[in-house]
Amino acid sequence: MTGVSCITFAISAVCVPMVVIRIPVDYFNRDEYSRSHEQIQHPVLRGGMLCIKNLAGYFLIVAGLLMLVLPGQGLLTLFIGIMFIDFPGKFRFEKWLVSRRPILLSINWLRNRANCQPLSFHFEQRK
């Protein structure tokens, strides 16, 4: 268990910041997720990449859950894992998740350390 914890911590310490700084500043200001980049690839290649991306996402979700009780960046790893997988309502869930103050503060802290602008997030007014 200690070995798995060390490996997932090392992977998340390298991969999570790389992914977080690549999120466009205005990503969460959009009303819906744009999939235009996925339509230009060959269907077989797109299907294979989708499988690899989803498997990586599920791995990160499991690692994030483990890191909630073991050393590591559990919440951020969970968030990145969710961003990788595809499911209905994913973009709305991502917006809700990032609107949680601890998540947004952690993401913007990592972006600040990499000299990137903080995420621009317009909070919707709740009725």
Asked if 104 and 121 count as a contact pair (C-beta separation under 8 A), the reply is: yes
pTM of the model: 0.60
Residue 56 belongs to some domain of the structure: yes
Residue 47 belongs to some domain of the structure: yes
Asked if 33 and 91 count as a contact pair (C-beta separation under 8 A), the reply is: yes
90 lies in which domain range?
Answer: 2-23+42-113
Confidence label for 33 from pLDDT (cuts 50, 70 and 90): low
pLDDT at 36 over 70: no
**Average pLDDT over the chain, rounded to an integer:** 78
Q: What percent of the chain has pLDDT over 90?
A: 3
Greater model confidence, 43 or 90: 90
- 3-class SS of residue 119: coil
Residue 124 belongs to some domain of the structure: no
Q: 8-12, 36-40, 92-96, 115-119: which has the minimum mean pLDDT?
A: 36-40
Number of compact structural domains in the chain: 1
Burial pattern 76-87, b for ≥16 Cβ within 10 A else e, equals bbbbbbbbbbee
pLDDT tens-digit readout, 101-116: 888 888 889 899 889 8
Confidence label for 55 from pLDDT (cuts 50, 70 and 90): very high
